[in-house]
Amino acid sequence: MKLKVLASVFTLALASLACAMPDVASLFNPLPKDDFSTTGKWGTGTDSNSSVEYENDALRMQVFEPLYMTWSTPGYDWYDNTHMEVDVTSKSSDDQVLYGFICNSRGTTMQFYFVGVSPIGGYAFSKSEMIKGNSVLKQGTSDLITNSGETIRLGLDCGANSMTLYVNGEMVDSVSDSTYVEGQVGLFVANDTNPNGGDVIFDNFVMTKLK
């Protein structure tokens, strides 16, 4: 039952996009790294559906609208074969909320991968396609994913034909897909059916090149 709810979020979620213009520093540092102590690197904004804002040296994402997804990126640059990590703390009132990484996004075309976890221990590898909509490539549950309120270190390998999810340095699962081999990266939160259910704090984001 929990996995059915997990899938429904990806199938029905709407999407909003927050992007930031690259700053001068990013031109000399091609791989993003951010402790969110300074503002302006990630896209922010608040409306009736969701909020993405800097808060207490972190990036806080809230989703107010049921079955809605919001995300933010550190700019418009495209990357390939990357490994991302971020500290994640869920303050969500809904334990079906999903949160995690965007990778290989094709800009504003609604084509990208999104890989996330939920406070109840669920995870999903999903793909957004402009014509077909959203589809779940693989999903499951893992004891490595802790309950709401605890901070975990979330990691993702995003390669040319596969993705691997990590929690606190331990592998959770992987999936193969080669639809998108490069693109933008970001972070997301997807709400389930409860209004105001999503509230997630991201910190200490880092990206490296896969070897």
The domain of 155 spans: 2-209
Number of domains in the chain: 1
pLDDT, tens digit, 9 for 90 and up, residues 4-20: 334 444 433 444 445 55
Q: For the chain, which residues score pLDDT lower than 70?
A: 1-29, 131, 147-148
Q: State the pLDDT at residue 147.
A: 67
pLDDT, tens digit, 9 for 90 and up, residues 162-188: 999 999 999 999 999 999 999 999 999
Q: How far is CA 182 from CA 28, 92, 129, 198, in A?
A: 20, 31, 15, 28
Q: State the pLDDT at residue 131.
A: 67
pTM of the entire predicted model: 0.87
Contact by Cβ (8 Å): 79, 29? no
Q: State the pLDDT at residue 184.
A: 94
Q: State the pLDDT at residue 20.
A: 52
Contact by Cβ (8 Å): 101, 125? no
The enclosing domain of 58 has a CATH number of 2.60.120.560
> Residue 174: is it exposed, middle or buried by C-beta count within 10 angstroms (0-12/13-18/19+)?
middle
